[in-house]
């Protein structure tokens, strides 16, 4: 019987999900995104060539895998078109293997204007790509969906109503310039070929995969601590980034998820505003940022760096019913003389346990037994604290720089 696997982040995103999805997609029939939008940035490095995917599932680099953008994703048509064309120029084909749910809500230019205007005033630290406002319209039952492009008369009416609503916000509340509804409609219709080529009933596609005993990989975006309900609210994203988001974002029940792999860096990073209890402002933090090349794949913003927060990680493992832990960027710690992990909070301050650094290279190691003893000690303490074993350990950005363990 085929196994269906969920891969998601256990921190504030940027954990290295793209590489792991790519690694596991080789023998997978269908790879699905179920939430978020082009605020994601999943980086894959193959034979020295780097690929950053924002919307398209990371399985697209394997010709055998079909890929689906599920109904829980909000889609910017211009961003999707650019990403498809870039990949096509590199010889990756899409015909009969890439699909987008007809129920995906679309991101309009007005969403972007609202998002960027708000962030100037509220300093949440969003990517400014219209994700939040698009989700607001989805929940408010105002959204334009991809499937609406099949009837231009109805689409035109919906666009006019929604753009007029957005313009009232922009003009009356934010004192900003407005948009012409006809221009927004024409912008959408510039991408009608995406509707014609890729729009499907996504639940039917998934149902048929299940009934035909095909394997499915569910690819999360962002991370648990950015979840709209379970994250560091209000400094969160606008979607359900946790395991529960799979069912709502794809229309598949939880009993069809056989394995849940939660991904965590060997330390912690965060992009944007919000609390970060283990954040470092010293040389140790600078070393993590430098060795980890910690800049956002989507925005290019420098990531804030800190020690691994095991209190938050243990909670994330519970929230998602994680069966397997994946630790990434272990090699970034190779030059750290002292390594710390947060084991409890005291008046909102971290209490640390210290480890001696291993001060020897782990980059490219592919066997657990070949890791330095002190690195093994570090990993095994993490496993013990969160009560979850690490079946995958990433020791570098490339596909082959990975340790897999039987647990």
Q: Are 244 and 229 in contact (CB under 8 A)?
A: no
Residue 2: the pLDDT is: 64
Q: Is the same domain home to 220 and 269?
A: no
| CA 369 centroid distance within chain | 31
Q: Is the same domain home to 320 and 175?
A: no
Residue-wise pLDDT tens digits, 233-292: 999 999 999 999 999 999 999 999 999 999 999 999 998 889 999 999 999 999 999 999
pTM for the whole thing?
Answer: 0.93
Q: Of 228, 260, 292, which marks where a domain is finished?
A: 260
Q: Is the same domain home to 256 and 274?
A: no
What proportion of the chain, given as a percentage, has pLDDT over 90?
81
Residue-wise pLDDT tens digits, 328-357: 999 999 999 999 999 999 999 999 999 999
Tally of domains within the chain: 3
Residue 41 has pLDDT above 90, yes or no: no
Q: Is the same domain home to 376 and 282?
A: yes
Q: Is the same domain home to 205 and 66?
A: yes
Domain of 170 in residue numbering reads as 105-193
**What sign does the CA torsion over 341, 123, 229, 253 have?**
negative
DSSP secondary structure string, 100-143? EETTPEEPPHHHHHHHHHHHHHH-----SSSHHHHHHHHHTT--
Instruction: Mark whether 111 is an active-site residue.
Output: no
Q: Of 193, 214, 237, which marks where a domain is finished?
A: 193
Residue 241: the pLDDT is: 97
CA dihedral 185, 137, 52, 84 (to 10 degrees): -30
Q: Is the same domain home to 268 and 126?
A: no
Q: Is the same domain home to 71 and 173?
A: no
Q: Is the same domain home to 246 and 129?
A: no
Residue 1: the pLDDT is: 47
Q: Is the same domain home to 109 and 15?
A: no
Q: Is the same domain home to 47 and 83?
A: yes
Q: Is the same domain home to 301 and 399?
A: yes
Q: Which two tokens stand for residue 375?
A: 């690195």
Q: Of 239, 260, 281, which marks where a domain is finished?
A: 260
Active-site residue, from 14, 22, 29, 115: 14
Instruction: Mark whether 115 is an active-site residue.
Output: no
Q: Is the same domain home to 168 and 182?
A: yes
CATH number of the domain bearing residue 86: 3.40.440.10
Q: Which two tokens stand for residue 369?
A: 């037994």
The contacts of residue 227 (CB under 8 Å, 6+ apart) are 236, 237, 239, 240, 241, 242, 245, 319
Active-site residue, from 22, 29, 38, 42: 42
Residue 123: the pLDDT is: 64
CATH number of the domain bearing residue 178: 1.10.300.10
């Amino acid at each position: 019987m085929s196994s269906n696997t969920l891969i998601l982040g256990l921190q504030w995103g940027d954990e290295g999900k793209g590489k792991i999805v790519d690694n596991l997609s080789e023998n997978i029939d269908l790879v699905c995104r179920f939430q978020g939008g082009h605020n994601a940035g999943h980086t894959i490095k193959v034979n020295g060539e780097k690929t950053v995917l924002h919307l398209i599932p990371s399985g697209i680099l394997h010709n055998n895998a079909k890929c689906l953008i599920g109904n829980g994703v909000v889609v910017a048509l211009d961003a999707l078109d650019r990403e498809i064309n870039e990949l096509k120029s590199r010889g990756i084909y899409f015909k009969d293997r890439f699909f987008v749910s007809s129920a995906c809500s679309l991101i309009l230019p007005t969403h972007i204007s609202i998002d960027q205007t708000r962030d100037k005033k509220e300093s949440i630290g969003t990517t400014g790509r219209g994700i939040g406002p698009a989700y607001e319209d989805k929940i408010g039952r105002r959204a334009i969906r991809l499937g609406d492009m099949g009837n231009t008369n109805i689409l035109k009416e919906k666009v006019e109503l929604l753009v007029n609503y957005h313009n009232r916000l922009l003009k009356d509340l934010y004192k900003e310039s407005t948009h012409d509804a006809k221009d927004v409609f024409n912008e959408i219709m510039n991408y009608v070929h995406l509707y014609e080529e890729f729009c499907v009933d996504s639940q039917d596609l998934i149902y048929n995969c299940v009934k035909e005993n095909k394997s499915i990989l569910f690819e999360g975006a962002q991370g648990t601590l950015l979840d709209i309900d379970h994250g560091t609210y209000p400094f969160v994203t606008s979607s359900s980034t946790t395991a529960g988001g799979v069912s709502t974002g794809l229309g598949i029940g939880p009993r069809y998820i056989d394995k849940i792999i939660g991904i965590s860096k060997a330390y912690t990073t965060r992009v944007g505003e919000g609390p970060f209890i283990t954040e470092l402002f010293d040389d140790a933090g600078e070393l993590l940022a430098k060795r980890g090349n910690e800049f956002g794949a989507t925005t290019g913003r420098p990531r804030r760096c800190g020690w691994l927060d095991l209190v938050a990680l243990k909670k994330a493992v519970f929230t998602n019913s994680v069966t397997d832990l994946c630790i990434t960027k272990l090699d970034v710690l190779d030059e750290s003389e002292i390594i710390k992990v947060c084991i409890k909070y005291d008046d909102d301050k971290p209490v640390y346990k210290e480890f001696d650094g291993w001060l020897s290279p782990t980059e490219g190691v592919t066997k657990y037994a070949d890791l330095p003893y002190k690195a093994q000690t570090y990993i095994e303490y993490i496993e013990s604290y969160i009560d979850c074993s690490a079946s995958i350990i990433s020791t570098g950005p490339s596909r082959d720089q990975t340790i897999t363990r039987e647990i």
